[in-house]
Every structure is written in structure tokens, then in C-alpha cells.
Amino acid sequence: MVSRDLILGPSLFIGAEQIVFVVVTRPAAVVILAAGEGKRMRSATPKVLHTVAGRSLLGHVLEAASAAEPEHVIVVVGHARELVTAHVEEIAPWALTVIQDEQRGTGHAVRVALTDLESRGISLTNGPVVVLTGDTPLLTGQTLLALLHEHESAQARATVLTAQLGDPSGYGRIVRDDSGNVASIVEHTDASNSELYINEINSGMYCFAAEDLRVALSKITTDNSQGEEYLTDVIAILRKENAVVAGSMCADAAEILGVNDRYQLAQTAAIMRDRINEKWMRDGVSILDSATTWLDVDVELEPDVTILPNSTLRGPTSIASGARIGPGTTLDSCEVGANASVIHTWAHLAVIGADSAVGPFTYLRPGTVMGTHTKAGAFVEIKNSNVGNDAKVPHLTYVGDGDIGEGSNIGASTVFVNYDGIAKHRTVVGKHVRIGSDSMLVAPVTIGDGAYTAAGSVITEDVPPGSIAIARGQQRNVLDWVLRRRPGSPAALAAIAAQKEHAAQEEK
Ligand code: UD1
Ligand code: CA
């Protein structure tokens, strides 16, 4: 059964320098309870689908579960089951979902899961069964492995994941016996005065010997204040048989924090943010203000990236070495090349090439692909367009559905007029083109390589390579109009003075 063993470490049980490798048995199954309604979220979205760092609460738990390489992962769904099931199919197609029609307690939820597996012909003979809750996104795979390790080394028939809390109120308390094993779990409402002082609590997550779990679940009743089947009763039943029940305490109590309302969601997000930022800082990324830097779990950063305050990187955004992001930048699913700078920018599904400069106040929309050493400056919006290497869009410009060749410059206030009221059309700007300021490029239109457009032109016809296109009204000066029509105005007086000075110069 060597293949069922997982080798842990070196990071799991380390003292200062000492590295210890530990071997644990892979679980036969991890059951994740996610049937509850999550009323206190007061949300149309099911609780476990709320997100932290760009991943659902349930997604975080599935991620932790996969660290133990279980043979089966089962998510128990109930409330909003269609949404939760669809989400699981999307992010973890390897997991099974089981419907718990009515939420009749944590014990009932696990019983429903085991019964469902049986009906699918899945027997849980290889390894223990782990039970997790779907609303604890801070749980790590390492803690799960530590739970499995404790279960195995204590030769326990059940092991409770516990934590020490400053304020344990509301939680089930862990009563330990003389040998340090778990004697019982006492729910807050049933606890005596002295038991209320116990600050080691039940996380609601466990590891069980599969057969013990199955047998004990068939014995539990609803004879309690809530009229529910309590999973904790399994522990009581096993203790009655004098079975060893171990307790595995989390090193970091934050890991078992459950999200019940928006306040806890925010607290959890802040802890996750700090955890993610610490990881990247230790990997060589400079983060100037961790409290205002929000990185999703799928972000990839190279060493020597610098992130300035008030920046958010979402989705699978990747930033190459030497790039500086922020301040005040939000990038969603973007790719930024080496040594680029992206200041006060909002970008979604955009590629920014190496050595490019973007911002401040730039809006890059999906399909923007900027080459190397390019520029998109202040008040520039680009969408579904290619900006060739060394090309520049420095100021106040809209580039929509365009292809800009290498080395071209788009003058201030240019608009790629891409929409005729019915359909979108493309504008092609060749290489080393100079688009004059305030040009309207009315698509579909092509500006040939090396061509110019005169400032203020409305370009509706293709421009051949090397030409200049001038498309604007001829200028006409009506002499002395101001003197006649605005006599005595500051403008008229200034004009008269200038005319006198000019005449005096002529006389000399
Ligand atoms: C449980 C424990 C308590 C522990 C606490 C930790 C029991 C009797 N008590 O209490 O010792 O300190 O967790 O948070 O178990 N769920 C289902 N189906 C159900 C019932 C619950 O899927 O029928 C899910 C819920 O969605 C939730 C989780 O199981 O994610 C926990 O259930 P909950 O009823 O909140 O347990 P607690 O009363 O908090
Ligand atoms: Ca609860």
C-alpha cells in the first residue's frame, strides 16, 4: 500500500533548522459540509460562494483538501444546491456533490454523504474519512496533513481539529483526559462553569476511522436542544467504547475561522491578504503597503516586482521582474512584461509589454495587446487593439478596434471612430506613422506605413504610405473683425496695441 502514503515536509514539522519528513496515509474521503443557508450573510449568493482573494470560500477548502490527495472528495449541498453544484463542477470537477435535502444537523449531513457513496458502489476502505466545513477558507493543506498525522500517530479512531481561542464563546469545548486525549466535546450551551473556562474549542473538522464513523452515525439521535443529529455525538459514542479520540491543535487559530457574516468575511479577507503578501515579499517582491495591496490567489509575480499602495491584482494576472505596479492600479487577468510601469491604471484582460509605460489615469479594456517599449498615457482608453513595439499613445485618446504598427505615434486627442451606430470596424495604422493631434480616424480605414495625418483631420479615406492626409476646413482670417464687432473690449484694446507696435517696428 505504498502508493497510498503521502510524504510530508520539509515545511510541515520544522523546528528552526531541523527538517523532518513524515508519512501519513491518504484519506479515503474528505467530506465538506456546505448545505447550510448562511442566513447571517443576508445575501442572494450562497455563503460558500462568496469570495476571498478571488476564490470562493468553498474553493479554498477544496484546495486545502486536495493537499491530502484524498481518494474521494464529497461536497454536501443543500441550500441553493444548483448554484453550489455548478460551481463545484466548474472549479473541482473531480469532486462529487451529494444533496442533503433538509439540514437535519452535521451528523445527518455526513450520514447522507456516506449513504450516497455506498449507493454509488464506493466503499471507503482505504484510509480515514476527513470532515471539513465549506466556510473556513483559511484552513491550509498543512494543517490538514497535521490532523492526519496526529490521527495516525495517536492510533486514534477519531481526531478532532482544535484551536485555542481568546474568546471561545459559542464553540464546543474540548475536554481532555489525563493522557491528553479528548474525553468529550461539550457544547457551549451545555457547559458547566468550569468547562466554560476551557479555551480549546472544536473547529467542527475531524478525521475518523471510516468504519467507526459509519457505525456511530447509525446510532446517533436527535435527542438534544436543537433536535438535530450532531456529528459531535460520534465522538461521545466512540468514547463510551473507550476508543482513543485525539485532538490536533492548529498552530494558528485563524485557520479554523468560519465565515458567518460580512464582517467575518472581511476579517478573513484581511488575514488572507496578509498571508498572500507575506509569501510574495519573502519571494522577493517589494510591497510598500501591505494593508492596501490585494492580490488574488492566482496572481503570479516574479522577484523584483514592486507594488505601490492601493493596488489590486485580480484573477490570473502575471507581472514580470522589475515591473512597478501602482500606486492606485487595478489589473484583472492581465500580463505585464519586465520593467514596465503601470501607474493609476484600470486594466482588464490586457497585455502590457516589457519596458512599457502605462498611466497615470489609463483604462485598458479586454483585448488590448501592447508590445515592448510602448506607452499609453494620461486619459487614454484602449480596447481590442494591438499597439506595436515602440508605438506611443501619449495623451487623451481612444483606441478602439485598432492595429497600430511599430514606432508609430498617435497625437493627443485622437479618436479611433470604430462604431457607425450598427457595427464596429477596424482601423489599421501602419509602421512609423504620425497621427496629428485631434485626428478622427473613421473606421474602416487604413493609414499606410510612414504616413502622416494633419492635426484636426477627419480621416475617412485610406492614406497611402508616405503621404500626409489633410482633411479639415480651409482657414479664413477675417481682418479687424474684433475691432469692429467688439470695440473697446480688452481683446480689441490688446489688438490695437499689437497693431501699433507692429507698425512702429515696420517704420524702423
Ligand atoms: C459545530 C459543532 C461545535 C463546533 C462548531 C464549530 C456540533 C453539534 N457542534 O457547531 O462543537 O465548535 O461547529 O464551528 O456539530 N451543515 C450542513 N448540514 C446540516 C447542518 C450543518 O451541511 O444539516 C453545515 C453548515 O452549513 C456549516 C457546518 O455544517 O457549514 C456547521 O454546522 P453548524 O450547524 O453551524 O454547527 P455549529 O452549531 O456551529
Ligand atoms: Ca456554525
Nearest CA to ligand 1 atom 22: 35
* Integer Cα distance of 390 and 127 in angstroms: 60
DSSP readout, 391-424? -EEEEEEEEESEEE-TT-EE-TT-EEE-B-SS-B
pLDDT per residue, tens digit, the chain (508 aa), is: 334 566 554 444 444 444 556 788 999 999 999 999 899 999 999 999 999 999 999 999 999 999 999 999 999 999 999 999 999 999 999 999 999 999 999 999 999 999 999 999 999 988 999 999 999 999 999 999 999 999 999 999 999 999 999 999 999 999 999 999 999 999 898 899 999 999 999 999 999 999 999 999 999 999 888 899 999 999 999 999 999 999 999 999 999 999 999 999 999 999 999 999 999 999 999 999 999 999 999 999 999 999 999 999 999 999 999 999 999 999 999 999 999 999 999 999 999 999 999 999 999 999 999 999 999 999 999 999 999 999 999 999 999 999 999 999 999 999 999 999 999 999 999 999 999 999 999 999 999 999 999 999 999 999 999 999 999 999 999 999 999 999 999 999 999 999 999 999 999 8
Cα(270) to ligand 1 centroid in Å equals: 24
Pocket of ligand 1 (CB under 6 A): 33-36, 76, 100, 103-106, 108-109, 133-135, 171-172, 185, 187, 201-204, 230-232, 258
Global pTM?
0.92
Q: Which CATH architecture does the domain made up of 25-256 adopt?
A: Alpha-Beta Complex (3.90)
Nearest CA to ligand 1 atom 39: 171
Cα(25) to ligand 2 centroid in Å equals: 29
Cell numbers standing for residue 469: 492626409
Testing ligand 1's pocket by substitution, the residue of 31, 97, 106, 225 carrying the most ligand atoms inside 8 A of its CB is 106
CA distances from 370 to 108, 350, 376, 408 (A): 56, 8, 9, 13
Nearest CA to ligand 1 atom 20: 105
Q: How confident is the model at residue 225, as a pLDDT?
A: 80
Cα(163) to ligand 2 centroid in Å equals: 15
Place of cell 480689441: 492
Instruction: Please give the number of the atom of ligand 1 that sits closest to the Cα of 76.
Output: 22
Place of cell 482601423: 427
**Cβ 431 vs Cβ 450: under 8 Å:** yes
Instruction: Please give the number of the atom of ligand 1 that sits closest to the Cα of 201.
Output: 12
Cα(231) to ligand 1 centroid in Å equals: 8
Return the SS3 of 87.
helix
Cα(106) to ligand 1 centroid in Å equals: 5
Buried b (16+ CB within 10 A) or exposed e, 311-331: bbbbeebbbbebbbbbbbbbb
* Integer Cα distance of 207 and 247 in angstroms: 10
Is residue 425 annotated as part of the catalytic site, yes or no?
no
Read off φ and ψ for residue 274, nearest 5 degrees: -65, -40
Q: How confident is the model at residue 4, as a pLDDT?
A: 56
Q: How confident is the model at residue 224, as a pLDDT?
A: 84
* Residue in 395, 425, 432, 502 annotated catalytic: 395
Nearest CA to ligand 1 atom 21: 106
Q: How confident is the model at residue 414, as a pLDDT?
A: 98
Domain spanning 283-469, CATH class: mainly beta
Determine the number of helices (DSSP H) and then strands (DSSP E) in the chain: 10, 41
